[in-house]
Chain A
Amino acid sequence: MRMDFLQQPFSWYVAGPLITVNLFLLFYFGQRFGISTGMKTVCAALGAGNKYHFFKYNWKADSWLLIYILGTVIGGYIAFHFFNAGAPVVVAEKTAAALQQLHIAANQSFEPAEIFALQNAFSLKGILLLSIGGFLIGFGTRWANGCTSGHAIAGLSDLQLPSLIAVIGFFIGGLLMTHLIIPFLFK
């Protein structure tokens, strides 16, 4: 069989079940799926535990997670360099129309250049936007004790109420940003 399908974008019904395979294998390997914890691990490994007790724990027990995260970086490299992952992302027609209002071209090769091309990312607006976004992700996931992987995938699979509440929070924040703040930022 030719490997053509690996050059095409994956459908939801391929990707969703394969995420569950990943979830199961992590349980089987004796660990728990949760990527944002890796950022806490990095802070702890850099010595934050010397001063702040939140980071004072046996972070070496999480070394598997740092190796897993290194794997995801390599996986991204392989997908983009050998399997055509950077093909244009074709969005819904309504989304394309909304993007026009924001002066962001639709159906670009993967990420909007208006935000992520280096000359834009390293403009004053770009740096502010990306730093504030990143800060909210780091601060928010730690406060909520998890992100999309730990709460939305692992937590909901285990029918955890705190995870359901967290996911509702993700959507409140995401809807506010998408419908109220982004139109203001890119008008």
Chain B
Amino acid sequence: MKQLKFLLLGIFFGFLLAKAQVISWFRIYEMFRFESFHMYGIIGSAVLLGVLVVQFIKRSNLKSINGTPIVIEPKANTYKASLLGGILFGLGWALVGACPGPIFILIGAGFWAFVIVLAAALLGTFVYGIFSDKLPQ
């Protein structure tokens, strides 16, 4: 039952991204052509409010639902990996018009072509894991 809240929040998030058309190839194509404000408005307002939320959590020492302090771990300082991995991900994102979250949501929506994308993404994750030591971090 402790996990039920995650299921419900996932349903909320999947529903939200579908209704905002964030998971459509057309919206991603339009975004990378800078021809619509829609995606920038969504990401921009989410991040702007997110900055306030994170500051609120840190300054108020808010406790989590379990009563433990909320610890927001910094991201690892692997700048080369961030940039190079980011570029590869960006190429894939613009090609199939979906980042990891939308891949799952689109499968739920019944776009079965994304099963191919998911299988390949799992393979990509696996292959990265094999070679992670040999890549610049």
Contacts and interface: CB of A to CB of B under 8 A. Distances in A.
Interface of A: 6, 9-20, 22-32, 35-36, 38-40, 42-43, 48, 52, 54-55, 63-65, 67-80, 83, 85-86, 89, 91-92, 94-95, 98-99, 106, 108, 110-112, 115-118, 121-122, 126-127, 129-163, 165-179, 181-182
A43 B126 CA distance: 6
A89 B26 contact: yes
Contacts of B90: 140, 169-177
A127 B3 CA distance: 36
Contacts, number: 492
Q: Tell me the dominant secondary structure on chain A's binding face.
A: helix
Interface string B37-51: 111111111110111
A139 B46 CA distance: 26
Contacts of A13: 41, 45
Given A75-B14, A127-B116, A136-B124, A169 B50 contact: no
Q: Tell me the dominant secondary structure on chain B's binding face.
A: helix
A159 B14 contact: no
B16 to A, nearest CB: 5
Interface of B: 3, 5-33, 35-47, 49-51, 53-54, 57, 62, 64-66, 68, 70, 72-79, 81-101, 103-114, 116-130, 132, 135
A118 B113 contact: yes
**Residue with the greatest number of chain B CB neighbours at <10 A, chosen from A35, A133, A160, A182:** A133
Given A29-B6, A135-B121, A172 B19 contact: no
Given A76-B18, A162-B78, A170-B93, A20 B46 contact: yes
9 contacts: A12-B42, A22-B16, A71-B12, A76-B17, A131-B119, A136-B95, A141-B85, A171-B90, A173-B91
A24 to B, nearest CB: 5
A93 B7 CA distance: 38
A134 B16 contact: no
B7 A68 contact: yes
